C-alpha cells in the first residue's frame, strides 16, 4: 500500500481494531494526511482532530485503483453503445418516466431542460437507481486522493469538498455515504463539488438526499443542465450525410464552432433539418457498420459537461430519444 501506513482495523495485537483516537494518531504521523487536516483547519475552521478521526474510518482499496485503470470510455463506440443502449434500459426508462411523469415534467419545465434527458442521465448513470455503487465515498476519495498520483489533486479537492459539505448539508453522515469507485453519489452520480454547486433540495425538507428522494434526484439533475446552459428546444446531434470529397477537419473538442451552412459547404450535410446559422461541430465515431459522422450542437456539449466523453454524451442522447419515442406512444 502506497504511503506505508495502515488504516483503522489494520493494526493492533491479535487483529483488534484500534480506537478512534489510536487510528487518528496513526494517521497524524503521515505528512500528507496531517497537511490535509491542517489545510481544512486553516481554510474552513474544521478541527484537525475531527478530520483525522474521519479519515481514520476510511479503507484504502486496491479495487478502486484497478477500476480507475479500465474505464468504459476507453472502448470504441461500437463496443460502448451496447453497454448503455439496451432494450431493458430503454424499457425501464419509459416505465420510470411514466411512473414519475408529473415530477419529471414539472422539473423539466421549471429548469428548461428536456425531460427525456433527465431520465436518460439517471438511466445511464445508475440504471434508474438500481446500481449507484457499493463503495463508501470516503473510501473512494481517500484512496484516490492519496494513492492515485495521476489525478491525486483532483480527488484531493473532491475529498476536501466532501468535508465541507458536512453532515448538515447531506441526508446522511459523510462516512456513511455510498457511491461509485470514483466517489460519485446517488442516482445522478454527483461528485462532492457537483453536490455543492448543483444539487437541489427539491422536496423542501431541508436536506439533500440523492439516494432516497426522487424530487431531490430529479431536481438536481435538471438544475445541473440548466446551470450549464441547456437550450430548450435546441438541437443536440444529427447524423451527417458526408460527401466523398468532404474537406477533412479535426475539431479540437466538442464546442460548437462552425455554422451548419459552413459544415454543409465542406461536405457535411445534416440528415435532418437544422438552422443554417446553428453552430455545430463534427464528431467521428467507430460504429458497428463503419465510421459514423455526426454533427453535434450546443446541447450535446452541455451533456458532455456531465461526463467529458463524447461516447457518454452520444449514449445519453440516443437513449433519451428512445425514451421520448416510447413515452410519445402513450398519447392517443
User: Beta strands of 200-250 (E only): which ranges?
Assistant: 237-242
Q: What pLDDT is stored for residue 27 in this prediction?
A: 56
- Whole-number pLDDT of residue 28: 54
Catalytic residue among 116, 125, 158, 278: 125
Residue 155 CA to residue 302 CA, distance in Å, equals: 23
pLDDT at 11: 24
User: What residues pair up with 8 in beta bridges, in sequence order?
Assistant: none
Query: Which phi and psi angles does 45 have, rounded to 5°?
Result: 75, 15
Alpha-carbon torsion (149, 152, 153, 156), positive or negative: negative
Number of neighbouring beta carbons within 10 Å of residue 248? 7
Give the chain's mean pLDDT.
Answer: 89
Sheet holding 290-297, edge to edge: 258-259, 279-287, 290-297, 237-242, 268-270
pTM over 0.85: yes
Residue 216 has pLDDT above 70, yes or no: yes
pLDDT confidence bin for 5, thresholds 50/70/90: very low
Residue with cell 466538442: 254
pLDDT of the residue at 168: 62
Residue 173 in contact with residue 167, Cβ under 8 Å? yes
Highest-confidence range of 10-14, 122-126, 288-292, by mean pLDDT?
A: 122-126
| Extents of the domains making up the chain | 1-57
With a cut of 80, say whether residue 169 has pLDDT above it: no
Q: Examine the residue annotation and report whether 125 is marked as an active-site residue of this protein.
A: yes
From start to end of 180-271, where are the E strands?
Answer: 237-242, 258-259, 268-270
Amino acid at each position: 500500500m502506497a504511503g506505508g501506513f495502515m488504516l483503522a482495523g489494520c493494526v493492533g495485537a491479535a487483529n483488534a481494531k484500534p480506537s478512534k483516537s489510536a487510528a487518528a494518531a496513526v494517521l497524524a504521523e503521515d505528512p500528507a494526511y496531517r497537511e490535509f487536516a491542517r489545510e481544512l483547519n486553516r481554510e474552513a475552521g474544521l478541527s484537525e482532530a475531527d478530520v483525522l478521526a474521519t479519515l481514520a474510518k476510511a479503507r484504502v482499496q486496491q479495487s478502486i485503483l484497478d477500476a480507475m485503470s479500465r474505464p468504459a470510455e476507453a472502448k470504441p463506440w461500437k463496443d460502448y453503445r451496447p453497454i448503455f443502449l439496451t432494450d431493458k434500459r430503454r424499457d425501464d426508462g419509459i416505465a420510470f418516466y411514466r411512473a414519475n411523469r408529473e415530477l419529471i415534467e414539472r422539473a423539466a419545465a421549471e429548469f428548461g431542460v428536456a425531460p427525456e434527458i433527465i431520465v436518460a442521465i439517471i438511466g445511464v448513470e445508475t440504471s434508474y437507481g438500481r446500481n449507484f455503487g457499493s463503495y463508501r465515498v470516503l473510501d473512494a476519495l481517500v484512496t484516490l486522493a492519496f494513492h492515485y498520483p495521476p489525478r491525486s489533486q483532483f480527488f484531493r479537492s473532491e475529498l476536501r469538498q466532501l468535508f465541507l459539505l458536512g453532515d448538515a448539508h447531506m441526508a446522511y453522515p459523510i462516512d456513511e455515504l455510498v457511491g461509485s469507485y470514483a466517489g460519485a453519489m446517488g442516482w445522478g452520480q454527483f461528485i462532492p463539488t457537483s453536490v455543492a454547486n448543483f444539487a437541489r433540495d427539491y422536496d423542501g425538507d431541508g436536506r439533500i438526499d440523492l439516494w432516497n428522494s426522487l424530487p431531490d434526484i430529479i431536481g438536481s439533475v435538471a438544475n445541473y443542465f440548466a446551470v450549464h446552459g441547456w437550450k430548450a428546444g435546441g438541437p443536440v446531434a444529427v447524423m451527417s450525410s458526408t460527401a466523398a470529397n468532404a474537406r477533412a477537419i479535426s475539431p479540437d473538442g466538442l464546442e460548437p464552432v462552425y455554422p451548419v451552412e459552413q459544415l454543409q459547404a465542406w461536405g457535411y450535410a445534416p440528415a435532418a433539418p437544422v438552422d443554417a446559422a446553428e453552430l455545430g461541430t463534427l464528431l467521428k465515431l467507430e460504429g458497428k457498420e463503419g465510421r459514423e459522422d455526426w454533427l453535434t450542437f450546443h446541447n450535446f456539449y452541455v451533456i458532455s459537461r456531465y461526463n467529458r466523453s463524447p461516447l457518454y454524451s452520444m449514449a445519453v442522447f440516443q437513449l433519451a430519444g428512445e425514451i421520448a419515442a416510447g413515452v410519445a406512444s402513450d398519447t392517443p
